[in-house]
Structures are given as C-alpha cells and as structure tokens.
C-alpha cells in the first residue's frame, strides 16, 4: 500500500514513520509519504489560503492549491483521481472513521489523505477532488494532521506483518473474533495489588474457561 498525506506540515509525519508498526509496514514494501501542499502552490510567496466569500472569520485553503499539489504528485487531472483511487479529505463534518472503514481502506493499494487547516478546504475540494470526506470524531481539531495520523495508524496496523504479534490483531476490539465488540480486560503481575486480585479464572490454567470468561466480559462491555 502507498499512502500519500498532503499537508502544510510534512515534517510532523517523520514521527509517525518512526513508529514500530509503520516501520514494519515500510520494511514489507508499504509506503507512507508526506507531501507539502505549499511546495507546488501557484500563488506567490507560498500562499495557500484566502478569505471566505460571504465574509466571516478565518482563511480557507484554496481549491487550485490542492489541485496543483495533486497534479504534481500524480501527473493526471486531479478531478479524475477520485474515480481511480480513494482521495480522503479530513473534515469534522465527514463520515465517521471506525474500524470497518479502517479495514476497508487497508484493502486499497493506494490512499491519498488531504489535511485541512484554518477554516478548512474550499468546499470544491470535497466535491470534486475527494472520493471521501472523513471525520475522526465529533470535535474540531486545529488541522487534519492528527486525524490523518489516526487514519494511518489504524489502517497500517491492519496490514499483514505490521504488528510484531499477528495474533494481537486477530482478537482485539471490533474484530470478528469478538463479534465486533470491545476487547475484554487484561491483567498482568502483580496478581494482588493494594488488595485488588486478578480474576481467579485467569490464573486457573483452564483455557476453555478463560476463553469463555473473556467472551462474556467483551459482551458485557458492549452492553454498557
């Protein structure tokens, strides 16, 4: 898989690329690249934004700036791109990102993420240059970078070989093994801490009982 993140802060993604599962994914041939939206702007002095029509506070990222960045990267007319690949504009007002969408995106060969700033993108970016508009939650971030990092993290850890222990991904929150529910609680040493004991079943050595206990705890959490 190749993920391109278009951002005004490409250097922030160096940290993401240092993360273990991202490094594992890159060693397996997957790629995560940060593309500087400012580097290809057609406007003077690296300008990328302008005042909103209709008035109001803040600045809006221009559609021609995003168009130029996409054209420089892919060498094709950017309005054709959404039909060819997933181009995801990050926006608080978009479709909610969840595990099912992460799994869907993990099946793509190429992904493009567009990080907004200021008041966000000119709406024509969402309408004509993106295939999806995605939100990571019902709150407003200062920019799309953290949202893109969340998407990259959740998607890349789903790629075979990205996690050190493949079985970690098989039975975790929202996986089919847990019927799409949250994961059961974990405990480790010490077995007794400030009078709080770990559940007896977990130290019983009875694997069938442990499995049953975990399924039950997962179901209980889903019911909460």
Interface residue list for ligand SAM (CB under 6 A): 90-93, 115-117, 119-121, 135-137, 139-144, 147
Q: Report the sign of the C-alpha dihedral through residues 80, 122, 72, 9, in that order.
A: negative
Closer residue to ligand SAM (CB): 56 or 164: 56
Q: Is 128 exposed, middle or buried (0-12, 13-18, 19+ CB in 10 A)?
A: middle
Closer residue to ligand SAM (CB): 68 or 147: 147
Q: Is 216 exposed, middle or buried (0-12, 13-18, 19+ CB in 10 A)?
A: exposed
Closer residue to ligand SAM (CB): 113 or 156: 113
Closer residue to ligand SAM (CB): 122 or 163: 122
Say whether 10 sits in a helix, a strand or coil: helix
Query: Taking Cα atoms as reference points, which of 76, 70, 51 lies closest to residue 4?
Result: 70
Which residue's CB comes closest to ligand SAM?
A: 116
> Least distance to ligand SAM from the beta carbon of 98, Å?
13
Closer residue to ligand SAM (CB): 81 or 202: 81
Closer residue to ligand SAM (CB): 140 or 166: 140
Please give the structure tokens belonging to residue 96: 């909610």
In the block, which residue shows the tokens 């397996």? 28
> Least distance to ligand SAM from the beta carbon of 43, Å?
18
Q: How far from 159 is each of 18, 108, 114, CA to CA, in Å?
A: 17, 11, 21
CA 44-15-65 angle, to 5 degrees, is: 20
Query: Taking Cα atoms as reference points, which of 1, 10, 203, 3 lies closest to residue 113?
Result: 3
> Least distance to ligand SAM from the beta carbon of 194, Å?
38
> Least distance to ligand SAM from the beta carbon of 5, Å?
11
> Least distance to ligand SAM from the beta carbon of 154, Å?
13
> Least distance to ligand SAM from the beta carbon of 46, Å?
19
């Amino acid at each position: 898989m190749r993920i391109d993140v278009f951002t005004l802060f490409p250097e922030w993604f160096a940290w993401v690329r240092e993360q273990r599962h991202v490094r594992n994914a890159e060693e397996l041939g997957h790629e995560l690249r940060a593309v500087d939206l400012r580097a290809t702007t057609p406007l003077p002095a690296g300008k990328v934004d302008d005042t909103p029509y209709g008035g109001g506070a803040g600045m809006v990222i221009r559609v021609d700036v995003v168009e130029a960045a996409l054209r420089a990267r892919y060498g094709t007319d950017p309005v054709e791109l959404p039909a060819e690949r997933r181009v995801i504009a990050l926006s608080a007002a978009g479709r909610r990102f969840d595990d099912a969408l992460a799994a869907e995106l993990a099946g793509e060969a190429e992904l493009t993420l567009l990080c907004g700033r200021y008041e966000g993108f000119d709406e024509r970016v969402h309408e004509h240059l993106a295939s999806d508009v995605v939100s990571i939650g019902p709150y407003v971030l200062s920019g799309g970078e953290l949202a893109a990092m969340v998407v990259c993290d959740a998607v890349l850890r789903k790629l075979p070989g990205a996690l050190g222990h493949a079985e970690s991904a098989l039975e975790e929150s929202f996986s089919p093994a847990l019927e799409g529910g949250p994961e059961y609680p974990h405990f480790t040493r010490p077995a007794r801490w400030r009078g709080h004991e770990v559940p007896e079943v977990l130290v019983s050595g009875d694997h069938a009982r442990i499995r049953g206990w975990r399924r039950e705890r997962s179901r209980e959490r889903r019911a909460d």
